[in-house]
Chains A and B, each alone.
Chain A
């Protein structure tokens, strides 16, 4: 055989291979373009309605444009300042100049408001200083610098302190980690170091912990309740499975608001559940089932259960019952066979369902807002609060970003687990 191969002239063959490859590539490219064109409208739609808004909101979490917009030159100078010695005269002169130029404009006002958010009282300091400044302050360099320093300090003594300038300098860049730090209960101290926030400000770590904790509990409950049902559906004949499937999907077709209202009616102090329990003589005084964690758990598990059952079912449907039979025939008792042979194969479904429920739960707003206790809300409540009531986009965006990151991390972990398993079983 090798002789025959050697005897063959191999050059024309190689040339043909190359041109064949090129032809194949060209044909494939055309095909790809054709298929790509089919989804262009969808891609555009998704970019406009999904990717762009999310990206814009994420940017809000680190956006800090106000101070830079009002005092660009001062900010440029302050970025080069060491933050320990008093700033030099040029800085005073530039600030005085820019204050004089922008005072009274909305740009100035929003910068003042922004600084006031970090240190209450700074707004009045800015207003007062701007009003006190002479119109032509700091026209010529060194002497004007000296007089600008004197003028500012004369307008308010705080300009003579480092703290005011440090605050100014922290906001001299167009981006800030302040919101993100605040949403994990951290802040900058005057020297620009990251420190833990004071006890009165530190609420978000607790909120995030509660959010993740509740999501974990809801996910676990959904798994415990959903797994047996999915297994039943996967092993029953199609007729029975379809009926069960309708019962799983039925709540799916009802508006969430209606379902939440229904839970309110059922679970309140004088609601059906309490009445029934009291009529049956099981309890003496009504149970607190709503406006606390219990109410949230009950309704969230109910709402999210289908999201657990459906992925589980679709995975279990593909697992032949023969595997358990085979394990039993090999001497493994039935329950152990289930755990050793069936359950590992159902794990991708557990992962997908768990991930879905957990992610949905983290961001759920209406149900916890309506059924939960006002004092113990989840992160979504604070996002809505900052968006709707205080119009603090930075904080709303930062909290959203943290949930978003958590989602991404979870998804990566899931991919790693499932993908790892699959690639391990595909390659040697």
Chain B
């Protein structure tokens, strides 16, 4: 059990150094990856399918070997350590509970392999079952349990042998929405209680934001940004991160002038806007101006904003707590606005002219996503 002091240790628990992976020798799945995972943290690898996040996880688990570079666990290089000697717990996408064994036998499995004394095995199994609130289910077979229960057994099995590190490969993908949210909270609590380092893979951005201490956003084999959820959402490093995490409006333009953190951008439709710099850019650079739909103000609220523009309402969708309004700006550009329903209900309709306002701190100028 790592102590608090250890958890704040400066040396990373896991580190990837210049790791490459390719399956066919031509197309790298993971390129030149540098990644430090801190002891005790909950790190999520987030990205679309094929972005290299699962490959990273499999390299860490030992089921894939890096084509180049090295992976360290603590202070030893584990490139050539076979998976069964890594002492890393893993939760698989479809749980992979052994169907011919009861829940208890499933949990005993890693302990039996380690030849622990029987008394200790029983104690650990009981503790693990209680931890996931399945104390009475020890004699069931996996197929007699619901998806959520199986998920919890898989979690308990990955934790029961006190592994150095727990990897989770889209563990909640097969559950329905409500159960998924419930399990997210449970996983978070277990992580907080045990203080074990968790590396979690998902393509669901809301899951990543809800669970993680830090999120590494993958695309095309690169880490696009690695930050805590709030930074990731509020200050996305590039266009890809901005559009992958949460909803985003992106308008193309060129940087006209810069004043410290602020700059002026001429959008493609001719409008000039004041915005804050997200990436270091130069005058005349092609850039994307990005704004979250909930940061756009409408009509009366837009008074006093530095950037004001007009448009026509093209669509209004009522979603209970808010309205989703699609607005056409000059030059046939469209942006989506999220407006609180209580304030704006019945105030406008399709085809109405409307005023929008955006504060410069919510309008971020980003370079194009890193790419090969």
Contact = CB atoms under 8 A, between A and B. Distances in A.
Interface of A: 320, 322-323, 325-334, 336-337, 340-341, 344-345, 421, 424-426, 428
B157 interface: yes
A158 to B, nearest CB: 68
B87 interface: yes
Contacts of B233: none
Given A322-B94, A323-B98, A341-B98, A329 B139 contact: no
B143 A332 contact: no
Contacts of B42: none
Nearest to A425: B141
Given A328-B84, A331-B113, A332-B109, A320 B98 contact: no
Contacts of B140: 428
Contact of A428 (B89, B144, B157): B144
A345 B144 contact: no
Interface in B52-102: 61, 63, 82-85, 87-90, 92, 94, 96-100
A326 B90 contact: yes
B87 A331 contact: yes
A345 B99 contact: yes
A344 B83 CA distance: 22
Minimum-distance CB pairs A-B, first 5: A326-B96, A330-B110, A329-B90, A425-B141, A322-B96
Contacts of A325: 63, 92, 96
B84 A326 contact: no
30 contacts: A320-B96, A322-B92, A322-B96, A323-B96, A325-B63, A326-B92, A326-B97, A329-B61, A329-B88, A329-B89, A330-B89, A330-B109, A330-B110, A330-B157, A330-B161, A331-B84, A331-B87, A331-B110, A331-B161, A332-B84, A332-B109, A333-B84, A334-B82, A334-B84, A337-B84, A425-B141, A425-B144, A426-B143, A428-B139, A428-B140
B127 to A, nearest CB: 17
A320 B140 CA distance: 21
B332 interface: no
Interface of B: 61, 63, 82-85, 87-90, 92, 94, 96-100, 109-110, 113-114, 139-141, 143-144, 157-158, 161
B98 A327 contact: yes
Nearest to A337: B84
A344 B141 CA distance: 15
A428 B97 CA distance: 17
Given A325-B96, A344-B100, A331 B61 contact: no
Contacts of B158: 329-330
A328 B167 CA distance: 14
Contacts of A331: 84-85, 87, 110, 113-114, 161
Contacts of A424: 141
Contacts of A340: 109
A341 B141 CA distance: 14
B167 to A, nearest CB: 8
Contacts of B161: 330-331
Nearest to A344: B100
A341 B92 CA distance: 16
Contacts of A428: 139-140, 144
A425 B109 contact: no
A344 B106 CA distance: 14
Contacts of A333: 84
Contact of B100 (A332, A334, A425): A425
Contacts of A326: 90, 92, 96-98
A34 B121 CA distance: 57
Given A326-B90, A425-B99, 19 more contacts: A320-B94, A322-B92, A323-B96, A326-B96, A327-B109, A328-B84, A329-B84, A329-B89, A329-B158, A330-B161, A332-B109, A332-B110, A334-B84, A341-B98, A421-B100, A425-B141, A426-B141, A426-B144, A428-B144
